[in-house]
Amino acid sequence: MAYYFLKLIPNRPTFSQDMSPDERSIMMQHIAYWTELMNKGKIIVFGPVADPAGAYGMGVAEVENEEELITLTSKDPASAINHYEHYLMPRAVVAGKL
């Protein structure tokens, strides 16, 4: 298995404060999507980060390979209005998996 840090970057710095109703609906679908993946064991943690330089979303995924990760992020409803960066965590230590 491979672990990746995911960063969901909003389409504008004020996104978390001024989402339109349509954007809020997409983000609710995004939460449901990642919750389902968490329940399947693909996502370790996810949620918003209150970075003073600008809020963003983060997650840690446990996947077979980068291709699987790209498939997961491309199916995320939030990908339609925001974009992802991802980084391999080559020496991740995961609770319960030592």
pTM: 0.91
Tell me the CATH number at 13.
3.30.70.1060
pLDDT at 94: 86
β-strand partners of 57: 8, 48
Nearest to 22 by CA among 84, 74, 78, 63: 78
In the chain, the number of structural domains is: 1
pLDDT at 98: 60
Residue in this structure with the two tokens 């995320």, named with its chain if needed? 76
Q: In whole angstroms, give the CA distance from residue 7 to residue 42.
A: 16
**Full pLDDT tens readout for the chain, 98 residues:** 899 999 999 999 899 999 999 999 999 999 999 999 999 999 999 999 999 888 999 999 999 999 999 999 999 999 999 999 999 999 888 887 76
* 98 falls within a domain: no
* 29 falls within a domain: yes
Task: Give the ranges where the chain is alpha helix by DSSP (H).
Answer: 15-18, 21-39, 66-75
* 93 falls within a domain: no
Domain ranges, residue 40:
2-88
